[in-house]
Amino acid sequence: MSQLKIREMPEEERPREKLLARGPDALTNAELIAILLRTGRPGMNVVEVARELLDRYKSFAELSRCSVKELSEIKGIGSAKALELVAAFNLGKRFAQEPLSQQKLDSPELIHELLGGEMRMLRTESLRVVLLDTRYRLMRVESVSTGSMNE
């Protein structure tokens, strides 16, 4: 089942070393996730565990919707690794929103750009109100209701 343990791989193919030598664009999605996970499980190196995770959830959007509890139930991913994955996805979400938080939000397209990525990751409907100042800059986003709006 297992290819090679990470320490048995050629140094230039190990995810961390590859990132240092060639930059993040040279890594596959599984290799990037493997860096976050750090270790595999018996019979599977960390890259294989990361590939299994990606195969199971099919997309980053679906994976990003997972809870810590759900991720920690996967063999080879305990609560610490699950917390780190959830934190990484949320940092990415916040990074994507950051430039828009200081810009004039005067169109539906910009509001979608601000919230679309986050809303796409939700498992249930969420009604949000975007509060702007008089210059159309973001003050805050309030969650008004969560769950099905048509029940």
Confidence at 59, pLDDT banded by 50, 70, 90: confident
Mean pLDDT for 88-110 is: 83
CA nearest to 64, candidates 80, 40, 94, 85: 85
Separation CA 88–CA 95 (nearest Å): 10
Cα 47 to the center of its chain, rounded Å: 17
Res 99: pLDDT: 67
pLDDT at 68 over 60: yes
| pLDDT score for 15 | 96
State the DSSP code for 35: H
Comparison of pLDDT for 65 and 151, the residue scoring more: 65
High-pLDDT (> 90) share of the chain, %: 54
What dihedral angle (degrees, nearest 10) is formed by the CA atoms of 104, 107, 111, 116? -140
Q: Does position 31 have pLDDT exceeding 60, yes or no? A: yes
pLDDT reading at 1 higher than 80: no
Whether the Cβ atoms of residue 118 and residue 93 lie closer than 8 Å to each other:
yes
**Better pLDDT: 114 or 16:** 16
Question: In the predicted model, is pLDDT for residue 118 greater than 60?
Answer: yes
Longest dimension (CA), the chain: 60
More confident residue, 3 or 43: 43
In this prediction, residue 102 carries a pLDDT of: 75
